[in-house]
């Protein structure tokens, strides 16, 4: 179902990621925004503050906050950001039990009030939580996806541009796999000003950047001490929502449900996909080498282990 008229995007979770995402959507006049959180007064206060900026940024989108999930009715896109963030020393996987339970509650409300919406999932561990929401909502697989690859690829591209002293605009690169330590940056599919990355950067420097990309979220958690990243994650979710609303046909790396692509089935794993008015319109299959394909499948196995753990919890 194509989106017509002024779209409505509901952002579930009014913390740093959710409120920053709401601001990005509103300031771009991409859609009317509803911010949902269980903390009384918090989403209302944040969206009132955002609304008071409208005369400065000059747009007339509606920005509102609520504690009532019933208000998400009529949403074109629901973006889920609610969950417990990591603390220093924690991996994303450590959050699987508590955030799966939060996601199950959210998914039940999406199914009840906004069953036709596209769903973009942000909370960690991202791939497993996307599975939880998919299983409970039972939305068509083209309408649900996880935001990870856009974020991981952005970090990867930034590190490369910074190391080479060039504009981020001239670095194209992609990261596949699960959103964790097994993610798969692809130097062979990375270009700087039209040149393959291995032609302009030594192998050992590339490997260091690949490793920093895998640990990118943990690096920020370690520096902040009391929270996790939110500017870049919100930018990634915004880019995905924009591609759907504006029918951009962007090829973006997202956690998509695979049905045999890359030899993987039944899991949400980061792969390039064409995003447009129908959500995931096509899984874009790169001609991976044997070693790249092995790394992607190994990453998928890690995702499967988390999914198995979710199933053992008995919340589905």
Find where tokens 């874009």 sit. 284
> Which residues make Cβ contacts (< 8 Å) with residue 154, sequence separation at least 6?
232, 235, 236
Q: Is the distance from CB of 129 to CB of 92 less than 8 angstroms?
A: no
> Which of the residues are catalytic?
179
Q: Is the distance from CB of 9 to CB of 25 less than 8 angstroms?
A: yes
How would DSSP label each residue in 204-251? HHHHHHHHHHHTHHHHHHHHHSS----HHHHHHHHHHHHHHHTT--EE
How would DSSP label each residue in 253-282? EEEEEEESGGG-EEEEEEEEEEEETTEEEE
Find where tokens 């999406």 sit. 110
* Calpha distance 241→2 (Å, rounded): 13
């Amino acid at each position: 179902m194509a989106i017509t008229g002024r779209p409505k995007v509901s952002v579930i979770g009014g913390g740093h990621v959710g409120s920053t995402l709401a601001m990005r959507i509103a300031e771009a006049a991409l859609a009317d925004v509803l911010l949902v959180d269980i903390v009384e007064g918090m989403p209302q206060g944040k969206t009132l503050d955002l609304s008071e900026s409208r005369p400065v940024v000059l747009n007339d989108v509606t920005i509102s906050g609520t504690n009532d999930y019933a208000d998400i009715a009529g949403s074109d896109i629901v973006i889920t950001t609610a969950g417990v963030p990591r603390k220093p020393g924690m991996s994303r996987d450590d959050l699987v039990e508590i955030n799966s339970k939060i996601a199950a509650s959210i998914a039940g409300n999406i199914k009840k009030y906004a069953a036709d919406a596209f769903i973009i999932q942000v909370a960690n561990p991202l791939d497993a939580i996307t599975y939880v929401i998919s299983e409970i909502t039972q939305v068509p697989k083209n309408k649900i996806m996880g935001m990870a690859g856009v974020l991981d690829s952005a970090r990867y591209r930034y590190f490369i541009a910074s190391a080479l002293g060039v504009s981020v605009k001239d670095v194209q690169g992609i990261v596949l796999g699960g959103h964790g330590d097994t993610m798969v940056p692809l130097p062979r599919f990375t270009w700087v000003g039209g040149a393959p990355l291995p032609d302009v950067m030594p192998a050992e420097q590339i490997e260091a950047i690949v490793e920093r990309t895998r640990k990118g979220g943990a690096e920020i958690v370690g520096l902040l001490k009391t929270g996790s990243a939110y500017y870049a994650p919100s930018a990634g979710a915004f880019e995905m929502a924009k591609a759907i609303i504006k029918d951009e046909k962007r090829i973006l790396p997202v956690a998509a449900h695979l049905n045999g692509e890359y030899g993987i089935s039944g899991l949400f794993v980061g792969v390039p996909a064409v995003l447009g008015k129908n959500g995931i319109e096509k899984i874009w299959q790169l001609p991976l080498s044997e070693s790249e394909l092995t790394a992607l499948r190994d990453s998928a196995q890690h995702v499967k282990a988390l999914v198995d753990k979710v199933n053992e919890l008995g919340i589905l």
